């Protein structure tokens, strides 16, 4: 029997060309594996396409709920945002895909896993770190880095290679943006976006929604209920998290929410420009922040903010299966014990406008916050606090004044 390789399969041009290439250069039995993390109709007809292209088997695994509950939810709880803007849509999905590829490889007795990520991108790092952490014995094949045997350098050359191998391609010869879609977002890269001086052609670009200018002229009221930092209902209707994200994507897309034009620092050292649509995720994370404002104390909030940034970097760099990610996530989960309540807001032309937040665990005290004197707060106590809190400043000022006097 031939040795088996598991191919991370999307059905696109790259992974279509890789199937005959693996058979030709390695004589492998190719087992395709498509991980459905919410890319919608992109999975339609993939099994038939893979088998007709030369694969011996094709798995299509629906892991949407696992993606929402075990990967998206922790990132929302951590308020994990990379470089102030990127909500980690692609980054969050890659470790789960790597995990499922390993599971299929074990089931099939494969000796290797192959992916079609380019040698310049982040995904090669994310896939391979996940595979190394979970199955260090498996070989990893990355065709785009194997320039001695993967000689194709363009989309046209890949198409010609497929034609030479008798493969019918249901693809247009027109160039298109490089896109990655899942339950959380869709990203757009390439073409005119490669020059940061260019204004994106949103009329041609957007998939999940419209621009704020095209959004309705009337706002829309929405409420989200959270339990321990996880969304459980929209407008009072209980739903599983994946359905909440779908509903928020619909609402956010309608009102022009969550469009981000970003130049980011890739793991491999270069800058890249992309446009991200994250309508539901943008709403969900903002609602979660509004609820935390009422509940978390100042010291916990400050530490959580710093660790949230670190958590985002860990996820972005593909280090999901690490002790550090587990430790920070454990901290985050402990902070979410009382993050329960309801957040109300209005969506209007790209804006998320506060409309009231309530929680049984709110630390906000109207009595303390008001300007009237209450039993818990004596205005005179502030004088002693300020004296002690400002003592280092005063000591330094006196010392500097003394030194200046001596110099004079």
pLDDT in tens, 310-328: 999 999 999 999 999 999 9
Look at residue 376 in the predicted model and tell me its pLDDT. Answer: 75
What pLDDT band is residue 378 in, cutting at 50, 70 and 90?
confident
pLDDT at 367 over 90: no
Task: Give CA angle at 107 (39, 150), nearest 5°.
Answer: 65
Of 375 and 55, more confident? 55
| Cβ contacts of 160 within 8 Å, gap of 6 or more | none
Percent of the chain with pLDDT over 70: 97
Does pTM surpass 0.85? yes
pLDDT band for position 170 (50/70/90)? Answer: confident
d(CA 14, CA 118): 10
- pLDDT for residue 18: 97
The H or E element that residue 175 is part of is none
Considering the domain 4-64+87-176 in this protein, what is its CATH number? 3.40.50.620
For CA atoms 323, 324, 325, 326, the dihedral sign is: positive
394 pLDDT more than 70 = yes
Confidence of residue 226 (pLDDT cuts 50, 70, 90): very high
Looking at per-residue pLDDT, the higher value among 109 and 380 belongs to 109
Q: What is the mean pLDDT of residues 172-185?
A: 83
Query: Cα(73)–Cα(78) distance, rounded to whole angstroms?
Result: 9
Quick one: average pLDDT of 211-237?
Answer: 98
317-363 pLDDT per residue, tens: 999 999 999 999 999 999 999 999 999 999 999 999 999 999 999 99
pLDDT at 155: 83
Q: What does the pLDDT read at residue 306?
A: 98
Of 301, 368, 318, 380, residue with least CA distance to 93: 318
Evaluate whether 165 touches 158 at the Cβ level (below 8 Å): no
CA 142 – CA 362 distance, rounded (Å): 51
Q: What is the pLDDT of residue 173?
A: 54
Residues recognised as catalytic: 14, 94, 123, 178
Please provide the average confidence, as pLDDT, over all residues in the chain: 95
Sign of CA dihedral 158, 103, 333, 345: positive
Summarize pLDDT for 58-112 with one digit per residue, the tens: 999 999 999 999 999 999 999 999 999 999 999 999 999 999 999 999 999 999 9
Q: Give the sign of the dihedral formed by CA 248, CA 249, CA 252, CA 258.
A: positive
Can 4-64+87-176 and 185-296+339-358 be said to share one CATH topology?
no
What does the DSSP 8-state code read for residue 71? I
Backbone angles phi, psi at 82, to 5 degrees: -90, 125
Residue 240 has pLDDT above 70, yes or no: yes
| Terminal Cα distance for the chain, rounded | 92
- C-alpha 324/C-alpha 367 separation (Å) is 41
pLDDT at 407 (0 to 100):
85
pLDDT of residue 188: 96
pLDDT for 38 equals 98
CB under 8 Å to 96, separation ≥6 — which residues? 35, 37, 63, 66, 67, 70, 71
> CA 227 to CA 239: how far, in whole Å?
12
> For residue 48, what are the contacts with CB-CB under 8 A and spacing of at least 6?
none
Domain ranges of the chain: 4-64+87-176, 185-296+339-358, 367-407
| Beta partners for residue 305, in sequence order | none
Overall CATH class of domain 185-296+339-358: alpha beta
């Amino acid at each position: 029997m031939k040795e088996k390789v598991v191919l991370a399969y999307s059905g696109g041009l790259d992974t279509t060309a890789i199937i005959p290439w693996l058979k030709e250069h390695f004589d492998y039995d190719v087992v395709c594996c498509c991980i459905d993390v919410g890319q919608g109709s992109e999975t339609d007809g993939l099994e038939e396409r893979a088998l007709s292209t030369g694969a011996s088997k094709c798995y299509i695994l629906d892991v949407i709920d696992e993606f929402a509950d075990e990967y998206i939810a922790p990132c929302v709880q951590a308020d994990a945002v990379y470089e102030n803007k990127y909500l980690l849509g692609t980054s969050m999905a890659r470790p789960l895909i790597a995990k499922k590829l390993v599971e299929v490889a074990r089931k099939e007795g494969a000796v290797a896993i192959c992916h079609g990520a380019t040698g310049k991108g982040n995904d090669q790092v994310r896939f391979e770190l996940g595979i190394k952490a979970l199955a260090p014995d498996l070989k990893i094949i990355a065709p785009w880095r194997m320039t001695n045997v993967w000689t194709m350098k363009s989309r046209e050359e890949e198409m010609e290679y497929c034609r030479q191998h008798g493969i019918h391609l249901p693809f247009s010869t027109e160039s298109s943006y490089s896109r990655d879609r899942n339950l959380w977002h869709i990203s757009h890269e390439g073409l005119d976006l490669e020059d940061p001086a260019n204004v994106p052609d949103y009329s041609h670009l957007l998939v999940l929604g419209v621009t704020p200018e095209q959004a309705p002229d009337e706002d829309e009221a929405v409420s989200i209920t959270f339990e321990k930092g996880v969304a459980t209902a929209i407008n009072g209707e209980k739903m599983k998290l994946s359905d909440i994200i779908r509903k928020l994507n619909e609402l956010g897309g309608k009102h022009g929410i969550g469009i981000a034009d970003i130049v980011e620092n890739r793991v491999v050292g270069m800058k890249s420009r992309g446009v991200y649509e994250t309508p539901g995720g943008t709403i969900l994370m903002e609602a979660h922040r509004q609820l935390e404002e009422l509940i978390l104390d100042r010291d916990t909030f400050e530490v959580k903010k710093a660790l949230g940034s670190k958590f985002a970097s860990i996820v972005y760099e593909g280090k999901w299966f690490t002790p550090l990610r587990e430790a920070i996530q454990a901290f985050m989960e402990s902070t979410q014990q009382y993050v329960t309540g309801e957040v109300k807001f209005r969506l209007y032309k790209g804006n998320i406008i506060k409309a009231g937040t309530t929680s049984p665990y709110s630390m906000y005290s109207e009595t303390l916050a008001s300007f009237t004197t209450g039993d818990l707060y004596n205005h005179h106590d502030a004088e002693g606090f300020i004296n002690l809190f400002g003592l280092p400043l005063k000591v330094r000022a006196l010392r500097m004044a003394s030194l200046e006097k001596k110099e004079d």
